[in-house]
Amino acid sequence: MLDTTAINQRMTRFDGHEAVWLFGYGSLIYKTDFPFLERRPAQLRGWERRFWQGSHDHRGTPDAPGRVATLVPREHALCAGMAYRITPATFAPLDHREKNGYLRLATTLTLDDGREVEGVVYIATADNAAFLGPASDQAIARQIAAARGPSGPNRDYLLQLAHALRELGADDPHVFALERALRELPLHAPA
């Protein structure tokens, strides 16, 4: 596992800012265990959400990694998520939370009121050590069903994200297909 904390702490682009917009597209949509000044739906252009990142530290273990969301570039794609206006001090706990291969990248995001703002997004790119890459929906669902880590079952991550996206009114064919595949597994059907 590559710990990206030190790399992310070298990003000084927003150090002098009073506040910065952070774009969340995975657990950051629904698990806000960090302070924020404002929260609002937002979109990121040119990226799509994929369960292609391994989770060795939260939703899996080094021996049995889970799968969590990252973003991959795709022309004309639009990724729905949640934007948080945070102080630069909030990056310290976020860097720790996102340390398993995610890098802080500057980006432009569109808030729900149509404003485009400069901000930050954590993305685990294909060249990080925990990147698992594409697989069939069924294979990803089986891996998610079997994985569990210190933050709980990987299954909960997927189901909570699907629920949060529905609450946002967002259509994400990849996430919803994985949710269906997970629910179709014999031992993991909803109670």
* 98 vs 58: CA distance, rounded Å: 10
The mean pLDDT value for 36-59 works out to 96
In degrees and rounded to multiples of 5, residue 170 shows phi and psi of -95, 140
The helix or strand, by DSSP H or E, that contains position 102, with its residue range, turns out to be: none
What structural domains and CATH numbers belong to the chain? 5-185 (3.10.490.10)
Q: At what angle do helices 154-168 and 137-146 cross, to 10 degrees?
A: 120
pLDDT of residue 14: 61
Burial of 191 (0-12, 13-18, 19+ CB in 10 A): exposed
The mean pLDDT value for 45-63 works out to 95
> Is 98 tagged catalytic?
yes
pLDDT of residue 133: 97
Residue 146: is its pLDDT beyond 50? yes
Which residue matches tokens 């904390």?
A: 5
11 pLDDT band (50/70/90 cuts)? low
The mean pLDDT value for 129-146 works out to 96
pLDDT tens, position by position, 63-74: 999 999 999 999
What's the longest Cα–Cα distance across the chain?
53
Which one of 18, 48, 75, 98 is the catalytic residue?
98
